[in-house]
Structure 1
């Protein structure tokens, strides 16, 4: 509308103005309630939206009045006065600004409503499940109930024993465990499977014989070497006991699921993805199969960051572009604290807020990586996670010990496989900081 306002008014075509306004979405709008926002003067988002909508409708009616008056005068052959043109232009501008404000508020409330619906924790999804509510609402719950918690990619072991002490006259959430940031999964390609094993071809090497050839002559043959490989689906699981009263305490149960069960699985999954031995029920991890670091091209590393750069080069020479570096937090802190002869930081910035990067690639710092070690690679192309079973939470009273002691068992588990397609796209080695 704003792009036409001068042309339609100066040209005298008031019919176009009226028709254009009739086509605009001025009808009733759905506005979602949202919490008060800063600067809103104590008004809710819905109240602000209603206020802006009223302002917009008032200005719309004013523009419509001016347009209809101008159209009537144009039909009588009377030219539109310059002052009237300016007033019409101002009214249109004011209306467009009000419309933009209204659209912005509605979009923000829609996003907030969508986020509030999607950003529920694992514990919230569990305690809000209708089946669980029915199970927990029994006077004496007997049997078991399972809830699949799809937003949990990892639910692993916690110390054995009872958490019945959480059931107190005055309910508290409990003390949270120390938290490790889980990051390795995000580096890898994601997938799903309905099988107990993933069969795939592992690439062992590529001989590129492509070359210019004369017409009528034989073309050179390139070779890609593969070997058959299988990635078995492994289960990560654990359980704990709690007082049966926890079933009637949604906040306490949610805390157990989110702060204990979910975090425990993620903790072990992170270690398995990196360091799993492939023996028994362990995944075969990235470090286990990665290609040992060997400085290519006769280049020599003078510092730790040079070693990492040469690791990136080694991955690139395997024809896969690297997309990240995994380090122990101690080694990353050492790198960030490197200084030149004048005491200026080479890498780190004590006041910086940007994500950690080195040689243009993101750095993932995790304690699952050994100290003085590094892993670089084209992670998203070299390996892929296949989730067989999204993490599930199960509660059960079906146990003689539970019945006698008035306890309930809460179990969480997930099943996944890790397929590593090209070992040369992962490089693992020593940084040389520790003798």
Structure 2
């Protein structure tokens, strides 16, 4: 019996020494990195389980000594001696102060919950991006490069057509044609942001994402300016700027009682065709296109109209539909855009970095600037009809 007792004591002492070592290691990890590593936590857990198993074994041996009827063993057997020994009582005191099976060996002072800081987070790779709205308008419009800071062009002003039948020897009619010299400045669209030098050097993926987001920010603003820019420098003169389009001129009373948006668009298409400008596009806000699309599918009159052509492109009355976040809601434009206007690109999106801005050098920061230069020139406003999609 004494040999078994000695082995149990030595085993408990060995386990206790290891637990103490890992307790110290856990405290050091919390101090240095704010949490206990997975390996340390698992070791403490396993030693705690082994410690509890030894305690259970002692209790079982004690019970067997009582049941045997051996008076000496029952009254003062090795089990009793072990349980009453100072070494066991010291170990038992430590056990009572520790978590039981499955613990990591920390002292219990409060209710334990699932938010254990020892659990390593499941870190997902990459970056969850924000929204990137599709930019569709610029790719639809004709585009040319330029090397200047301004665009000048000669525009037909008034054409008086006096062509008529004439008798032999009679005087022929004289027509008149006047021009206007127009000039449009090249606009700059730009923005900037600051990041730390460490971020740029240590997190390549995040730095690349910042670059992508900065480029998108410039082009997203241009998408709006190409429609709504008021032309006052430094703004772009957009499609809906005064003088760049012809108002459709229809009132609500002229649109009937059902599918008014569709009726209005069809009338404007007809007006353009009558003027000799066969439209190649209808620009709508995505929300307005959704309303029209629903009308087409939920009314008997609309179901007979095709909204997608053979190439999979959205169409109304055979004219392609361009949905653009740049078009303000409840407005629209129909036109022969390939003849009406041109984007002139002076510079594509340029992204530059500098540590010399403000106090960047002393703070270890980098300023990132993204900018682009371009102009929209509308040569033939008559080829674009636009206005309110729900007129009064």
- Distance change in 2, residues 1:220/1:395 (3 Å): same
Matched-pair contact (CA < 8 Å) for 1:295–1:314 = no
Figure out how many residues of one structure are paired with residues of the other and give that number.
261
TM-aligned CA deviation for residue 268 of structure 1: 0.5
Match of 2:186 in 1: 233
CA distance, structure 1, for counterparts of residue 195 and residue 124 of structure 2: 14
1:291 aligns with 2:246: yes
Matched-pair contact (CA < 8 Å) for 1:355–1:362 = yes
TM-aligned CA deviation for residue 187 of structure 1: 2.6
CA distance, structure 2, for counterparts of residue 174 and residue 225 of structure 1: 58
Structure 1: 5+ residue stretches without partners: 1-169
**What are the within-5 Å matches in structure 2 for residues 210-229 of structure 1?**
210-211=163-164, 213=166, 219-229=172-182
Select 1:265's aligned residue among 218, 226, 229.
218
Question: Larger relative contact order (C-alpha < 8 A, sep ≥ 6)?
Answer: 1
Select 2:264's aligned residue among 307, 327, 340.
307
Higher-Rg structure is 2
RMSD: 2.9
Deviations, residues 264-310 of structure 1 (Å, cap 9, x unaligned): 011110111100011231111111131111259xx943321111011
Structure 2: 5+ residue stretches without partners: 1-122
- Distance change in 2, residues 1:349/1:285 (3 Å): closer
Q: Secondary structure at the match of 2:240?
A: helix
Match of 2:128 in 1: 175
* Structure-1-length-normalised TM-score: 0.54
Q: Secondary structure at the match of 2:131?
A: coil
TM-aligned CA deviation for residue 425 of structure 1: 0.9
Matched-pair contact (CA < 8 Å) for 2:186–2:373 = yes
1:425 aligns with 2:378: no
Matched-pair contact (CA < 8 Å) for 1:202–1:420 = no
Q: Secondary structure at the match of 1:345?
A: helix
**What are the within-5 Å matches in structure 2 for residues 102-251 of structure 1?**
173-211=126-164, 213=166, 219-245=172-198, 246-247=200-201, 249-251=203-205
1:322 aligns with 2:279: yes
* Structure-2-length-normalised TM-score: 0.60
Deviations, residues 293-342 of structure 1 (Å, cap 9, x unaligned): 1259xx94332111101112222333322110111222111111115665
TM-aligned CA deviation for residue 172 of structure 1: 5.4
CA distance, structure 1, for counterparts of residue 176 and residue 205 of structure 2: 59
Match of 1:279 in 2: 232
CA distance, structure 2, for counterparts of residue 218 and residue 346 of structure 1: 54
Match of 2:354 in 1: 396
TM-aligned CA deviation for residue 348 of structure 1: 7.0
